[in-house]
DNA sequence: TTGTACGCGTTATCAA
DNA sequence: TTGATAACGCGTACAA
């Protein structure tokens, strides 16, 4: 059996008795082809089972029909990341609608390795890139400019003029969390922040500070966690050593909060009876915990969709939508409650 | 400022004073070019900052230099999936090593929409595809054959002759879980299975049945869950209504187990005091729960790496590694313990 | 509508 | 052995 070579546009042209150009016009729905001819061409294409060759199309259109996302992070951490799969799902659904693919790269090994991947992608592999995990003085801003590759920042860059961006204001949600705790009567509210340097770590911490300040509460203890939850456990233990001990802890991620709750449970500290806990992300298990976790939700899939739309606009030469999407919002469940003692120390019942 | 057009191979050739062909030979490290000439060409390329255009390379080599992974599942579920991010990370690290990209598609909307995406990818967008979420009589086997696109099954297909495959034997781990419970003295061991039809759902359930049979225990109650954890809660409630009530539950996923534990906690049932719980996957939070979850771990990243290696071999015309990787293994933590009552009801001191 | 040059790297052919 | 030349892959776009 001879290997049935995939039909090319030439085969379709011959079959329909027209030229290559006519086929191209007909299939891209452009004027200049008589209706009857167009119908004949479409029939031929269907009959032969012709599908445009992606490589040829990419070359002649000078477009890769794909977007790139480079994640510079130890691959193992992706398993514990709340943002990654949902953002990806959002991006993907949007790109699929217009026949674009997502080219994904996970790169470990420092800025040089990362830059090398950007260079590879810029050489016609993708039409644009998403920049996630923004940090202060992000070197990728220079990089994409030098590489002349369209880019979209996911989150608000420190210099928002430099690049189009789409962000979810997580500060609003974090502030709502602190206000919620203040309303419940908490005066000693600690914070476990995320990886230092990332803009969302900063924005969440600043929101926490703002919340305390507007309530006239001195800044409470703050410790630093990281991507996985393990640091959340350690951070929690160090907070418990504080004197006076915090009555509430605002974590920068659900995973750290979950790890923290385990430490509290192991120490015999009731949540929310003795200490209130707030997470961030609203991961799938958050509502399944005991107690269900009060947390801050952001619609990450919608974020992904919006980011994809913006990047598509950029690469298509249109004006991209840029700025904030719906802000993150507080989801109150059962891990927050009034603090154990009436208010402050004045009722020195201790 | 004139837009500094990216240099082409012709520019390099002119700069080095040789022909296009010579440049191509030199840069691909092939014989037929004098060492001095080769060095001159490489210098020119470096000086001009030339990087081969991916689109042109793909067209002339008739290779996309990318692999495809089509996930036919509601995008929203990716956020709660334990397999997806880790498998992806494993695939990605391997593909990156050889300069290949991963083209990802999430598709909702039934078999037709799915088939359409395979057709698109087969038209030169990728060189091969991963087939995950295998099910009995999987229609994709015919599809990839008809499309003549190299494919690798992730997991053991029902007909393992049909396609190269790489799997992790989760039955071994599930069986170990049941044996562990039997050794602890459990005689009423329930199972919450995953999405019906998937091969791993079947293999886990069969392992549970085998474990019970070899212990001489009649098959206990079994209920069906799904991808997200919510069904795990409902399933657990229905198991609690069983009489006599199970003393242990083996869940087909950690997420369902976590949801189940919340139900148990809400009902005032101690874990593991009253009921033992076993999960599956060993997600990041499993060890962070209270109590830490006994579960079955499979190295999903290694699975991804191995799958990528096999698919690369296939597309490179080599003999792919196929078959089982290291089996899943039981991780005993604190959610399992002897049942509350001595043995059965008869105290049959076998 | 047709014919054909073009995009750009690869490779077969052939001359030196 | 070295290297130039030209055909090739396949869809697009413009002149005719």
- B24 and B96 in a common domain: no
- The protein residue nearest nucleotide C7, judged by CA to C1', is A60
Please compute the mean of the pLDDT values over residues A339-349 and round it to a whole number.
58
| Chain mean pLDDT for chain A | 91
Q: What is the pLDDT of residue A240?
A: 96
**Does the pLDDT at position B341 exceed 80?**
no
Which of A55, A266, A288 has its CB closest to that of B59?
Answer: A55
Report yes or no on A200 lying in a domain.
yes
Strand C contact with A69 (CB < 7 A): no
Q: Are A150 and A129 in contact (CB under 8 A)?
A: yes
Report yes or no on B276 lying in a domain.
yes
- B305, closest residue in chain A (CA to CA): A75
**Does the pLDDT at position A303 exceed 50?**
yes
Provide, as residue numbers in chain A, all residues whose Cβ is less than 8 Å from the Cβ of B52: 123
Q: What is the pLDDT of residue A311?
A: 97
Probe site for chain A from B12, B65, B75, B236 (most A CB atoms < 10 A): B75
Gyration radius from chain A CA atoms: 26
Distance of C1' in D14 from CA in A49, Å: 28
Which of B88, B103, B285 has its CB closest to that of A255?
Answer: B285
Q: Tell me the CATH number at B256.
A: 3.40.50.2300
Q: Helix B300-315 and helix B83-97: axis angle, to 10°?
A: 40
Please compute the mean of the pLDDT values over residues B165-180 and round it to a whole number.
97
- Smallest CA-to-CA distance from B291 within B234, B336, B334, B347 is with B334
Report yes or no on A196 lying in a domain.
yes
Please compute the mean of the pLDDT values over residues B168-190 and round it to a whole number.
97
Q: Are B66 and B125 in contact (CB under 8 A)?
A: yes
Percent over 70 (pLDDT), chain A: 96
| pTM of the predicted structure, to 2 decimals | 0.92
Strand C contact with A26 (CB < 7 A): no
Which of B52, B86, B229 has its CB closest to that of A78?
Answer: B86
Cis amide prior to A338 (ω within 30 degrees): no
- A232 and A178 in a common domain: yes
Report yes or no on B253 lying in a domain.
yes
Provide, as residue numbers in chain A, all residues whose Cβ is less than 8 Å from the Cβ of B78: 85-86, 88-89
Q: What is the pLDDT of residue A228?
A: 73
Q: Are B80 and B285 in contact (CB under 8 A)?
A: no
| pLDDT, tens digit, 9 for 90 and up, residues A239-290 | 999 999 999 999 999 999 999 998 998 899 999 999 999 999 999 889 988 8
Which nucleotide's C1' sits nearest to the alpha carbon of A34?
A: C1
**What would the DSSP string read from start to end of B53-91?**
-HHHHHHHHT--SEEEEEEES-GGGGGG-SHHHHHHHHH
| pLDDT, tens digit, 9 for 90 and up, residues B321-335 | 999 999 999 999 999
- B108 and B54 in a common domain: no
**What would the DSSP string read from start to end of A7-47?**
P-HHHHHHHHTS-HHHHHHHHTT-SSS-HHHHHHHHHHHHH
| Chain mean pLDDT for chain B | 92
- A292, closest residue in chain B (CA to CA): B262
**Does the pLDDT at position B218 exceed 50?**
yes
CA A87/CA A300 separation, integer angstroms: 5
Burial B53-83 (b: 16+ CB within 10 A, else e): bbbbbbbeeebbbbbbbbbbbebbbbbbbbb
Distance from CA of B4 to the nearest CA of A (A): 10
Q: What is the pLDDT of residue A29?
A: 83
| Helix H or strand E encompassing B19 | none
Structural domain count of chain B: 3
Q: What is the pLDDT of residue A343?
A: 46
Distance from CA of B85 to the nearest CA of A (A): 5
Q: Report the C-alpha dihedral over residues B44, B47, B53, B58, rounded to 10 degrees.
A: 50
| pLDDT, tens digit, 9 for 90 and up, residues B54-109 | 999 999 999 999 999 999 999 888 888 899 999 999 999 999 999 999 999 999 88
Flag if A96 and B103 touch (Cβ within 8 Å).
no
Report yes or no on B339 lying in a domain.
no
- A65 and A50 in a common domain: no
Residue that the structure tokens 């209130």 belong to: A276
Which nucleotide's C1' sits nearest to the alpha carbon of A56?
A: D10
Q: Report the C-alpha dihedral over residues B15, A56, A102, B91, rounded to 10 degrees.
A: -80
CA A101/CA B55 separation, integer angstroms: 15
Q: What is the pLDDT of residue B349?
A: 44
| pLDDT, tens digit, 9 for 90 and up, residues A26-80 | 988 888 788 888 888 998 999 888 889 999 999 999 999 999 999 999 988 888 8
A285: DSSP letter:
G
Question: In sequence order, what are the beta bridge partners of B276?
Answer: B248
Flag if A229 and B284 touch (Cβ within 8 Å).
yes
CA B12/CA B14 separation, integer angstroms: 5
- A280 and A201 in a common domain: yes
Domain that holds residue B225: 170-297
CA B258/CA B278 separation, integer angstroms: 10
Q: What is the pLDDT of residue B346?
A: 47
**Does the pLDDT at position B3 exceed 80?**
no
- A210 and A283 in a common domain: yes
Strand D contact with B54 (CB < 7 A): no
Please compute the mean of the pLDDT values over residues A221-247 and round it to a whole number.
91
Residues in chain A, overall count: 350
Q: Report the C-alpha dihedral over residues A233, A238, A240, A245, rounded to 10 degrees.
A: -140
**Does the pLDDT at position B4 exceed 80?**
no
Please compute the mean of the pLDDT values over residues A322-341 and round it to a whole number.
95
Contacting residues for B266 by C-beta, under 8 A, at least 6 apart: A290
Q: What is the pLDDT of residue B162?
A: 93
Strand D contact with B29 (CB < 7 A): no
Chain A 268-297, CB < 7 Å to strand D: none
Flag if B56 and A255 touch (Cβ within 8 Å).
no
Which two structure tokens, joined as six digits, stand for B324?
Answer: 């089982």
Provide, as residue numbers in chain A, all residues whose Cβ is less than 8 Å from the Cβ of B85: 78-79, 81, 84-85
Which two structure tokens, joined as six digits, stand for B51?
Answer: 């990087």
Q: What is the pLDDT of residue B350?
A: 44
Phi, psi dihedral angles at A43 (to 5 degrees): -60, -45
Report yes or no on A111 lying in a domain.
yes
- A218 and A106 in a common domain: no
CA A6/CA A49 separation, integer angstroms: 8
Which of B56, B106, B285 has its CB closest to that of A59?
Answer: B56
Pairing of strands A101-107, B101-107: antiparallel
Q: Tell me the CATH number at B53.
A: 1.10.260.40
**Does the pLDDT at position A1 exceed 50?**
no
Gyration radius from chain B CA atoms: 26
| Burial of B29: CB neighbours in 10 Å, binned 0-12, 13-18, 19+ | exposed
Strand C contact with B48 (CB < 7 A): no
Please compute the mean of the pLDDT values over residues A93-106 and round it to a whole number.
92
SS3 content of chain B, % helix, strand, coil (to 5): 45, 15, 40
- A134 and A66 in a common domain: yes
Report yes or no on A340 lying in a domain.
no
Looking at strand C, which nucleotides approach a protein CB closer than 7 A?
1-12
Report yes or no on B193 lying in a domain.
yes
**Does the pLDDT at position B316 exceed 60?**
yes
- B288 and B175 in a common domain: yes
- The protein residue nearest nucleotide C3, judged by CA to C1', is A19
């Amino acid at each position: 059996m001879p290997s049935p070579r995939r039909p090319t546009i030439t085969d379709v042209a011959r079959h329909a008795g027209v030229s290559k150009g006519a086929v191209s016009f007909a299939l891209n729905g452009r004027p200049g082809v008589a209706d009857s001819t167009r119908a004949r061409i479409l029939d031929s294409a269907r009959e032969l089972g012709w599908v445009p060759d992606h490589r040829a199309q990419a070359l002649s259109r000078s477009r890769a029909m794909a977007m790139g996302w480079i994640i510079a992070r130890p691959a193992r951490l992706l398993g514990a990341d709340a943002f990654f799969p949902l953002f990806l799902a959002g991006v993907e659904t949007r790109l699929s609608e217009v026949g674009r693919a997502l080219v994904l790269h996970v790169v470990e090994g420092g800025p040089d390795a990362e830059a090398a991947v950007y260079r590879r992608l810029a050489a016609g592999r993708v039409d644009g890139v998403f920049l996630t995990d923004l940090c202060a003085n992000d070197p990728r801003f220079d990089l994409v400019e030098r590489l002349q590759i369209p880019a979209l920042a996911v989150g608000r860059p420190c210099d928002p003029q430099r690049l189009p961006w789409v962000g979810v204001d997580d500060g609003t949600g974090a502030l709502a969390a602190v206000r919620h705790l203040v309303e419940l009567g908490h005066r000693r509210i600690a914070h476990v922040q995320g990886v230092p340097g990332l803009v969302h770590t900063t924005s969440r911490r600043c929101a926490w500070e703002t919340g305390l300040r507007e309530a006239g509460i001195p800044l409470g203890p703050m410790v630093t966690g990281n991507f996985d939850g393990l640091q959340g456990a350690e951070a929690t233990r160090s907070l418990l050593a504080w004197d006076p001990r915090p009555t509430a802890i605002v974590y920068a991620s659900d995973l750290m909060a979950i790890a923290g709750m385990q430490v509290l449970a192991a120490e015999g500290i009731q949540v929310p009876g003795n200490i209130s806990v707030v997470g961030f992300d609203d991961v799938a298990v958050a509502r399944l915990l005991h107690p269900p976790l009060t947390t801050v939700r952001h619609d990450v899939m919608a974020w992904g969709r919006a980011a994809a739309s913006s990047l598509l606009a950029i690469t298509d030469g249109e004006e991209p939508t840029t700025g904030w999407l719906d802000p993150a919002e507080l989801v109150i469940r059962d891990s927050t409650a009034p603090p154990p003692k009436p208010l402050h120390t004045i009722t020195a019942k201790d």
